[in-house]
Amino acid sequence: MTLIQVRKIMSQPPVFVDASSPIDLVAVFMRRHAIGFVPVLEGERLVGSITDRDLVVRVLTQDKSGEGLSAADVMKAPVLTCFADQPLTEAAYIMGDFQVRRLAVLDRDGSLVGVLSVGDIAEHASELLAGETLGEIVEDR
């Protein structure tokens, strides 16, 4: 496989929420955009991320309605990231090593510029690399 940079296949522009966003609106936002992962920013700084699973595990299963909770209350931090100019194989290695399906993509100044998913790898680059990455992600450790 030729050396492909992350920027060639990442989803962009990035869809994100502000840390102060009410969590119920974050859930609606995710549904509207048909996404299961959203980076959380404070100003222009990446401070966390929320997945659809986080909404279930940290809100719904805790007998909470989400009322009064913000993205900052539910997000996970720190966020795993890669760089837009990084080789895709390195980003896939990060995903496999840390067992995550998505990475926030930054430019070298630290600004959020996109999101990379295993699905992006499969759809736009290599089903083989995506399959190997997914195998690492779901491996019991």
54-88 pLDDT per residue, tens: 988 878 766 566 678 899 999 999 999 999 999 99
Predicted confidence at residue 63, as pLDDT, reads 58
Q: What is the pLDDT of residue 135?
A: 87
**Cα Rg for the chain, rounded, in angstroms?**
15
Using CB atoms within 10 A of its CB, is residue 120 exposed (0-12), middle (13-18) or buried (19+)?
Answer: buried
Quote the tokens at residue 132: 């190997």
pLDDT score at 61: 67
3-state secondary structure string across the chain: CCCCEHHHCCECCCCCEECCCEHHHHHHHHHHHCCCEEEEEECCEEEEEEEHHHHHHHCHHHCCCCCCCEHHHHCECCCCEEECCCEHHHHHHHHHHHCCCEEEEECCCCCEEEEEEHHHHHHHCCHHHHHHHHHHHHCCC
What are the structure tokens assigned to 45, written together? 């700084």
Tell the CATH topology of 6-138. Answer: CBS-domain (3.10.580)
| pLDDT confidence of residue 62 | 64
pLDDT value at position 125? 87
Q: What is the structure's pLDDT at 58?
A: 79
Question: Which residue in this structure is represented by tokens 């119920």?
Answer: 24
Q: What are the extents of the domains in the chain?
A: 6-138
Low-confidence ranges of the chain (pLDDT < 70): 1-2, 61-66
pLDDT of residue 139: 86
74: amino acid identity, one letter: V
